[in-house]
């Protein structure tokens, strides 16, 4: 569904990504792993078109989306859940959902209902402002907002970051439901979450893809985990 070919991203004078290659098969959860500063977030943000100075190619459903503006990329059906959720703090939960709706038709409302069943906390906080939500609720809202339109591919950047363990579990449960209908590219530092959700993984180090394979390979190879993630 998504192919990244020899991706190079420059941010100001820095050459951050120096050859990332990655493929996300339809119906899978593909996880991008790596140490802090390896280039995981830059990869996902490059896919979303946030950086003007990008070389290589990014194909979504066999069409190049390189150099397209973020709003066009989103309209192709790519949802984005940023690292810090980026909830609109001054807008209510309802308004956060509404602002994301590209069409306010029956299908979109049905999808919204489905998402509210998936995240009942949001229903309870429906009229509350985004800035007054807990970290977990913000994460749920960020995911729900990205999925309220027809979204074949979801890019999720560190959904477990800063969340209490109970909230991480809730988010994981939800992701397990979402994966049934949506292909996911997940950036995650939490190896437990990554290994439980992921079908495939890509290891990024110093802005390059250095290893890839099925997730069970990484689960079984302690040396590999130690070498690239610093965990046993």
Partner 1 sequence: MELHLTLVFNGLATGMLIFLLAAGLSLIFGLMSVLNFAHGALFMFGAYMGTWVYILIGGWDSNLGNLNFFIGMAAAAGIGIVLGYLVERFTVRQVYGNHLRQILITTGVMLVVGELVKVFWGPNVIRVVQPEFLTGYFAVGDVRLTYYRVFIIIFSTVILALLLFMLKKSKLGIVVRAGVENSEMIQALGINVRKVFTLVFIFGTMLACIGGFMWGPYQGQVNPAMGLDLMLIAFIVVAIGGLGSVAGSAIAAVLVGLSEAYMAYYFPPGSLAVNMLIMAAVLLIRPTGLFGATR
**191 interacts with partner 1 by CB under 8 A:** no
User: Between residues 157 and 212, which has the closer beta carbon with respect to partner 1?
Assistant: 157
Binding mask 63-82 toward partner 1 (x if CB under 8 A, else -) reads ------xxx--xx----x-x
Instruction: State the virtual CA torsion across 175, 181, 185, 188 in degrees, nearest 10.
Output: 10
Residue choice 51, 88, 191, 211 for contact with partner 1 (CB under 8 A): 88
Distance (Å) of CA 120 to CA 12, 104, 115, 153, 210:
42, 21, 8, 23, 40
Q: Is position 33 an interface residue for partner 1 (rule: CB under 8 A)?
A: no
222-227 long-range contacts, Cβ below 8 Å, gap at least 24? Answer: 225/191
| Residues in binding contact with partner 1, number by CB under 8 A | 24
Of all helices (H) and strands (E), which one includes residue 69? none
What are 17's strand-pairing partners?
9
Part of the chain binding partner 1 (CB under 8 A), chosen from 15-23, 60-68, 111-119, 141-149: 141-149
In sequence order, the 6+-apart residues with CB closer than 8 A to the CB of 199 are 25, 28, 29, 30, 214, 215
Q: Does 52 bind partner 1 (CB under 8 A)?
A: no
- Applying CB under 8 A, the residues found at the interface with partner 1 are 48, 50, 69-71, 74-75, 80, 82, 86, 88-91, 95-96, 98-100, 102, 104, 145-146, 149
């Amino acid at each position: 569904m998504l192919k990244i070919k020899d991706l190079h991203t420059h941010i100001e004078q820095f050459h951050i990504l120096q050859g990332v290659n990655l493929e996300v098969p339809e119906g899978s959860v593909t996880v991008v792993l790596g140490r802090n500063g390896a280039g995981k977030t830059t990869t996902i943000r490059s896919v979303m078109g946030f950086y003007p100075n990008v070389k290589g190619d990014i194909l979504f459903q066999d069409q190049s989306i390189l150099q397209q503006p973020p709003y066009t990329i989103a309209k192709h059906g790519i949802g984005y859940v940023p690292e810090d959720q980026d909830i609109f703090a001054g807008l209510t939960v309802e308004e956060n959902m509404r602002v994301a709706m590209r069409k306010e038709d029956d299908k979109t409302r049905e999808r919204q209902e489905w998402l509210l069943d998936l995240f009942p906390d949001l229903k309870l906080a429906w009229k509350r402002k985004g800035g007054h939500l807990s970290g977990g609720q913000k994460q749920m809202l960020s995911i729900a907002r990205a999925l309220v339109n027809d979204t074949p591919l979801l890019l999720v950047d560190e959904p477990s970051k800063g969340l209490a363990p109970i909230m991480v579990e809730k988010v994981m449960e939800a992701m397990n439901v979402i994966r049934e209908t949506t292909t996911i590219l997940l950036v995650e530092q939490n190896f437990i979450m990554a290994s439980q959700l992921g079908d495939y993984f890509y290891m990024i180090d110093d802005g390059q893809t250095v290893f890839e394979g099925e997730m069970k390979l990484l689960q079984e190879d302690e040396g590999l985990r130690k070498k690239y993630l610093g965990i046993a």
